[in-house]
Amino acid sequence: MSKPVRAFLGVLLALALGLCAFIPGMWVGGQTVGKDQGLAGGAIVFLTGLSIATGAFVVGALLAYFLPARLLKVLTAIATVPAAVIAVVIGYHYFAYRSEADAFLDDQIAHLPPFTLKIVHSDAAVGQLYDRISFDTSRENFTTVNDEGATCSGTIAATSRDKVELLTALRNVEILLAQHPTVCRDGGAMLHEAEFEIHEAKPPYTTGRVAITEACLAAHDPLRALITTAREVYESNRATESCG
């Protein structure tokens, strides 16, 4: 048997034995975990399975080195079958879990409080993609107006992660305005104006409006994040935009 073939069979055997040992290893770990160990118990079970699987992998590598060629082929064939079955079962449950987790997250995003956000850029704010942009998540859309006065509109899906990013930015601005009601009243020239309304589960709604100057923008991260996030959300959904 050539060295490349033996090396290939050795890797296959080691992986197969490691995979076959992983599930029994987790069972062993489960027998040592108390019911009161919470999340740590899951980590213990996983690490026990991983440790035993690693040992089996090493054993497989040693067997591949010392076994006669014929016996190595037979043993590899025998170990590969259950390992393949285990891999399919683990893969199936993993993707099923991911699908359930994604569905749960989509549901949570869909039930976020709807909100509106309007941002207006002044002529002093150079390099902007639009003069004005408005988001309305209850209608799942956004609208922009460019420097020539053309109006365009696009959509944001009800389960879009962009809603989370925008709402997070708004909540941070909400905190800033609550802590500093007179923020940005420094007498400087306005660069951006932001106005928002968050439709809370129970009235009153959360509202805010702030004229953002250059000095204020430099001094407050939440305001910079709001302007940046709005632009990023627009860019990620720009493909849905149409201009009339």
Number of structural domains in the chain:
2
User: Is there a single domain that holds both residue 159 and residue 235?
Assistant: yes
Q: Which amino acid is at 242?
A: S
The answer on 196 and 236 residing in a single domain is yes
Structure tokens at 233: 């959300």
Distance of CA 60 to the CA centre of its chain: 37
Residues 70 and 185 in one domain: no
**Sequence-ordered list of residues with C-beta below 8 angstroms from that of 9, at least 6 positions apart, any chain:** 64, 72, 73, 76
Same domain for 126 and 101? no
* pLDDT bucket at 131, cuts 50 / 70 / 90: very high
Residue 207 has pLDDT above 90, yes or no: yes
**Looking at residue 47, what is its pLDDT?**
86
Average pLDDT score, the chain: 89
Is 133 found in the same domain as 55? Answer: no
pLDDT for res 37: 67
Identify whether residues 121 and 38 lie together within a single domain.
no
Which residues form the domain of 85? Answer: 3-109
Q: Which of 72, 89, 109 is the last residue of a domain?
A: 109
**Within 10 Å of residue 18's Cβ, how many Cβ atoms?**
23
Q: What is the average per-residue pLDDT within 76-82?
A: 91
Same-domain status, 120 and 193: yes
More confident of the two residues 126 and 136: 136
Tokens 């609550």 locate to 178
Asked whether residue 229 falls in the same domain as residue 127, the answer is yes
Name residues whose C-beta falls within 8 Å of residue 184's C-beta, 6 or more positions apart in sequence.
Answer: 210, 211, 212, 213, 216, 220, 223
Q: How far apart are the first and last CA of the chain?
A: 72
pLDDT digits (tens, 9 = 90+) for 142-180: 999 988 888 999 999 988 999 999 999 999 999 999 999
Strands, E, within the chain: which ranges?
115-121, 132-136, 141-145, 151-155, 190-198, 206-213, 242-243
Q: What is the pLDDT of residues 87-128, one digit of tens each?
A: 898 899 889 989 998 899 889 998 999 999 999 999 888 888
> pLDDT tier at 48 (50, 70, 90 boundaries)?
confident
> Which helix (DSSP H) or strand (DSSP E) does residue 107 occupy?
helix 69-110
| pLDDT of 33 strictly over 80 | no
Longest dimension (CA), the chain: 86
Interval 37-51 mean pLDDT: 79
Instruction: Select from 116, 142, 144, 143 the least CA-distant residue to 131.
Output: 144
